């Protein structure tokens, strides 16, 4: 800043320091965990151009090194926040990462009989929890809970295909066919009654 009056000139300077924004790399080894299991994911981070960093999640806030990792095992879907203080010492930068926790599908698939005779009705039943879709192979998509009456004329496998947050699971039900009983006639000689009758 230059100020001039009739007698002399005055100068004043202000220096502005330009600093780079922090570079934040924040990742996890898994994006989904199964509810009710002792599964964990590893959070990993690598931060440059920062003074300090904090990890916030699961109701806790802790100071962390600029490069590091930590194992976490949340019981429900949780968002973790990486809060980083820039080189100016004043401005904060944030990066979020959400770790989702889902219940795994549960499948019950059964029949009223596993051995049958040809053309005898068989009732197959299923009960599935926590699924996004259920398919009875050969019969198309079905509801989460249901029954179907079938008749078979040979050994048959029924398959239930279930999709959940972790992919596709299948369960098979094998029904064996029993052979029809064969009755052989027994040849018994006919007694000669006429010879034994006395007149």
Indicate whether 81 pLDDT > 80. Answer: yes
Mean pLDDT of the 77-94 span: 94
Name the percent of the chain lying above pLDDT 70. Answer: 90
Report the run of H or E that residue 177 belongs to, with start and end.
strand 167-177
Confidence label for 42 from pLDDT (cuts 50, 70 and 90):
very high
Examine the pLDDT at 186 and tell me if it is beyond 80. Answer: no
What backbone torsions phi and psi does residue 194 show, to the nearest 5 degrees?
-60, -30
**Minimal CA–CA distance to 82: which of 70, 150, 160?**
70
pTM of the predicted model as reported, rounded to 2 decimal places:
0.71
Choice between 27 and 153, residue whose per-residue pLDDT is larger: 27
pLDDT of residue 197 exceeding 90, the answer is: no
Q: By percentage, how much of the chain surpasses pLDDT 90?
A: 71
Residue 199 predicted with pLDDT over 70: no
Three-state SS string over 46-71 comes to EEECEEEEEEEECCEEEEECCEEEEE
Parallel, antiparallel or unpaired: strands 145-150 and 92-102: unpaired
| Widest Cα–Cα separation across the chain | 175
Cβ within 8 Å of residue 48, ≥6 positions away = 22, 23, 66
Average of per-residue pLDDT values in the chain: 89
Cα–Cα distance measured from residue 144 to residue 155, given in angstroms and rounded to the nearest whole number: 26
């Amino acid at each position: 800043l230059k100020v001039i009056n009739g007698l002399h000139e005055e100068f004043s300077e202000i220096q502005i320091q330009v600093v780079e924004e922090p570079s934040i790399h924040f990742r996890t080894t898994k994006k989904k965990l199964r509810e009710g299991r002792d599964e964990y994911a590893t959070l990993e981070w690598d931060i440059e151009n920062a003074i300090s960093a904090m990890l916030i999640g699961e109701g806790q806030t802790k100071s962390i090194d600029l490069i590091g990792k930590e194992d976490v095992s949340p019981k429900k879907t949780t968002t973790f926040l990486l809060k980083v203080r820039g080189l100016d010492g004043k401005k904060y930068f944030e990066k979020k990462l959400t770790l989702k926790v889902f219940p795994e599908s549960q499948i019950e698939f059964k029949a009223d009989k596993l051995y049958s005779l040809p053309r005898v009705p068989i009732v197959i039943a299923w009960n599935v929890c926590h699924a996004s879709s259920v398919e009875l192979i050969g019969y198309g998509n079905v509801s989460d809970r249901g029954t179907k009456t079938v008749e078979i004329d040979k050994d048959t496998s029924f398959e239930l295909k279930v999709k959940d947050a972790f992919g596709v699971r299948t369960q098979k039900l094998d029904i064996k066919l029993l052979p029809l009983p064969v009755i052989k006639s027994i040849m018994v000689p006919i007694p000669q009654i006429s010879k034994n009758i006395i007149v």
